[in-house]
Amino acid sequence: MNLNSYIKSLPTKRKLSEVKIKIITRLWGSESDTFPKPWVSSEELLKLTDQKYFDRRTRELRDQLGCDVESSYIEKFNGHAWRLKSSKLAPPQDRDYLTQSQKDKLFNDNDFTCVTCGLKISAGIRGLQADHKVPLSRGGSNDLINWQPMCNNCNVGKRRACEGCSLECKTCSWAFPEKFGVKTMVSISEKTLRRVDAYSDKVGTTRDKVMEDASEYYLDEKENN
Ligand SMILES: [Zn+2]
Ligand SMILES: [Zn+2]
């Protein structure tokens, strides 16, 4: 594997930042260096990136992207240094992002459909995103089972809904849409909606339930003729 294909294999959410590319390129060193690659001092990385927080960026390479980076006190530098131990990436439960091929599989398995609104959409920055069902901040994991495909709009809506939310995630329709059904927008006349609401009031059920039953009833009728 060379540096270019290594960078391409990283599970990035967006394009890798300039600083991270600088760091990874330096840690990779020359193509002829074998793993583990040689130690690079903190001092050199600081100079190279001109970033006070170069160490945070380097740790992000490890914790978010799963790069096999280690740091240690190194005698000859009389200080801390970093190196790339291998070109292996940590498994998804040990990092924040999915690799491109894991994302592709997630989207494919779900037929490129947003789990919350049912919109079929192509992947990409403004399209389908990989979303943590239970957010990391609420104790969610990076296990594959905690990821779902979501369109950008729903993703923004979910993030807003999650801010300061104290609901049990288990009962949240954003986190487990498969339990609560897809929320989709359909145009319906006011007259029909009023009938639906009047009926659901009368029998003590929900609008959702009446709409669902009505559709099923209609389709059963039509499809069998
Ligand atoms: Zn959506
Ligand atoms: Zn929530």
111 Cα: distance to centroid of ligand 1 (angstroms): 13
Q: Would you state the pLDDT for residue 137?
A: 84
Please answer whether residues 69 and 78 qualify as being in contact, where contact means their C-beta atoms are separated by less than 8 angstroms.
no
Q: What protein residues have CB closer than 5 angstroms to ion ligand 2?
A: 162, 165, 172
* ipTM, two decimals: 0.83
Instruction: Read off the pLDDT of residues 130-143 as tens digits, 9 standing for 90 and up.
Output: 999 999 888 899 99
pLDDT for 107? 94
* Number of domains observed in the structure of the chain: 3
The pLDDT score that the predictor gives to residue 14 is: 75
Does 185 fall in a domain? no
Q: Which domain covers residue 208, as residue numbers?
A: 190-223
Q: Does 129 share its domain with 157?
A: yes
Q: What's the gap in Å between 16 CA and the centre of ligand 1?
A: 26
pLDDT digits (tens, 9 = 90+) for 11-52: 887 788 999 999 999 999 999 999 999 999 999 999 999 998
Which helix (H) or strand (E) is 58 found in, with range? helix 54-63
Stretch 96-106: mean pLDDT, rounded?
89
The CATH number of residue 164's host domain is 1.10.30
Q: Is residue 142 part of a domain?
A: yes
Together in a domain, 72 and 104: no
CA distance 12 to 95: 11
> What percentage of the chain has pLDDT greater than the value 70?
99
Which tokens belong to 224?
């069998």
Domain shared by 106 and 165, yes or no = yes
